[in-house]
Amino acid sequence: MNTLAAFLDTNSRYTVLRWEPVPGSGECINVAVVCEHAHRCFARTLVRDDVLRCMYGAAGDGVMRMVEGVTNAVYAVACSHGLDTALTAVPLANFSLSVPRVTWASDENDLLRQIVLMNCSLSVISDEAPPSSDDLPTPEREVNQQWTTKVKEAVQVLRPDLSLYFNQEAVLVDDGVPVRFAILSPRLAAQFGLLRPAQQNQGMEDARAKMWKLALAKERNPGLNAALVFGTPAQDDVTLSDKQRDRLRSNVMEIQQEASHRQVTFQEAHTVSDAANVIVAMA
């Protein structure tokens, strides 16, 4: 069922297993869940084992085994006698089960994601790969994202209609995964970035990666304006050393040449307002 009516019904129930590390304190951690979806019971330990090791050191592995043991015991009762019976079958006094909640889920993974989102801040769905270092934000990425956000906000003030085209995706290679653009409209594909004096190597790598995406978009749609708008300090910026100024000039010229070769417009912008004006003019 993919209609709205499907979401007005329920096909799942679940109860969260809570662990009270200090009995009687009232302080609990949601560590697992026992579910009933489409008339089938299943259980999943949700607390992250690395979190338990961080909290309890060498004892963390023992805590994890205890949690898994209690979860398996409750799950066995739920399979044999139903979820309602399992509510009264918790084997250890410092564990308890929450009042069952009902919801609608398209499948078991969807149900687990709902449970984690709504109940378990220290949890992870174990069949999902843990984030790699490439997935984690870095200070450089955060600064670039702040710049991009500010430019979009300035564009929205000048041309509110362009906000519809923020963060749009397009497939650039047949049967490939969609690629996201800062702005993608019928007339314009744009990416933003920064070429900061102290991180010029990272800025150049970012510029080339984004330019490659823009070049592919231009190749698939020759009538598209492809723009790479990078924030740079002005050449007369008093905070630049002579070495930084020379290197910045050289890097900008290099990117301009590469962009021209790929039929991508590269535009320096010394302020957020400058960047927004460039986008509005091309859109």
Q: 272-282 and 139-158 are packed helices; what angle lies between their axes, rounded to 10 degrees?
A: 60
Pair type for strands 178-184 and 188-194 = antiparallel
The shares of helix, strand and coil residues in the chain, as percent rounded to the nearest 5, are: 50, 20, 30
Identify which of 74, 72, 68, 70 has the alpha carbon closest to the alpha carbon of residue 15: 74
Of 110, 95, 128, 79, the C-alpha closest to 16 is 95
What does CATH list as the number for 139-282?
3.40.50
Contact in structure between 224 and 172 (CB atoms under 8 Å): no
Report CA 55 to chain centroid distance, whole Å.
Answer: 26
Rounded to 5 degrees, what are φ and ψ at 71? -60, -45
Strand-pair category, 225-231 with 265-269: parallel
| pTM given for the model | 0.52
Both tokens of 23, joined, read 């009995």
Domain spans of the chain, in order of start: 4-119, 139-282
Per DSSP, 123 falls in state B
Distance, CA of 154 to CA of 143 (rounded, Å): 17
Give the residue carrying structure tokens 């590269």.
Answer: 266
Per-residue tens of pLDDT for the chain, all 283 residues: 444 444 456 789 999 999 999 888 888 999 999 999 988 899 998 887 778 888 888 888 889 999 999 999 999 999 999 888 888 888 888 999 999 999 888 888 888 888 888 888 777 554 444 444 454 455 667 778 888 889 999 999 999 999 889 988 888 888 788 889 999 999 999 999 998 888 888 889 999 999 999 999 999 889 899 999 999 988 888 778 888 889 999 999 999 999 999 999 999 999 999 999 999 998 8
